[in-house]
A = this chain, B = another copy of it.
């Protein structure tokens, strides 16, 4: 048996747990954490209100699990994109492309991840802030490296990095599946805009 991952993911309880998480993502994205009731989540998962507490400690824990896995995914993706090339231009193009694809394709969860932070407990918020800091720092350092190497030309690398983050994060607010633009299409265009922002000739 594939002890490391498989067994832990396929028991009946784990399937139900995941169904509750998915229902929570949809509800939090649509109405916000405080606008969502535990009854909403349980009903969307086809369970009684009490079943939520069989599988999760609290409503806030659901938000924390969503937030942590979302940030983990983005951090790893950014790190992988940066490690994929020594050339800042190639690396930045890939960072922005992947960041944008994720924020558009998973706009439902990235919306929760980016706009419901204040509903986390102080302890969980501190942990998530640390992940966010590492994501922001990685992108900032990439822009700074490009400037240092002379391939990028921008008066303030920190501000350029802030702008690049905004382009991706704001997709959680405005992206719609039926809007006529695919995540990959937006990603390709935004990657070129990113290079313009950092002053690649």
Measured CB to CB, the residues of A under 8 A from B are 30-35, 114-115, 118-119, 155-156, 159-160, 162-163, 165-167, 169-171, 173-174, 181, 186, 189-190, 192-193, 196-197, 199
The CA-CA distance from A153 to B7 in the complex, in Å, is 54
Provide a sorted-by-A list of 28 A–B residue pairs whose CB atoms are within 8 angstroms. Answer: A30-B118, A31-B34, A31-B118, A32-B33, A32-B35, A33-B34, A33-B35, A35-B118, A35-B119, A115-B115, A155-B189, A155-B192, A156-B189, A159-B181, A159-B186, A159-B189, A159-B190, A162-B174, A166-B167, A166-B170, A166-B174, A167-B167, A169-B170, A169-B173, A170-B170, A196-B197, A196-B199, A197-B197
List of B residues within 8 angstroms of A189 by Cβ: 155-156, 159
Identity of the chain B residue whose Cβ is nearest the Cβ of A136 in the assembled complex? B174
Give the Cβ gap from A49 to chain B, nearest Cβ, in Å: 19
Copies per assembly: 2
The CA-CA distance from A52 to B34 in the complex, in Å, is 21
The CA-CA distance from A160 to B197 in the complex, in Å, is 12
Given contacts A32-B119, A166-B166, A166-B167, list 5 more A-B pairs with CB under 8 A. A31-B118, A32-B33, A34-B34, A159-B181, A197-B197
Give the Cβ gap from A182 to chain B, nearest Cβ, in Å: 12
The CA-CA distance from A114 to B111 in the complex, in Å, is 13
Instruction: With a 10 A CB-CB cut-off, give which of A165, A189, A199 has the most chain B CB atoms.
Output: A189
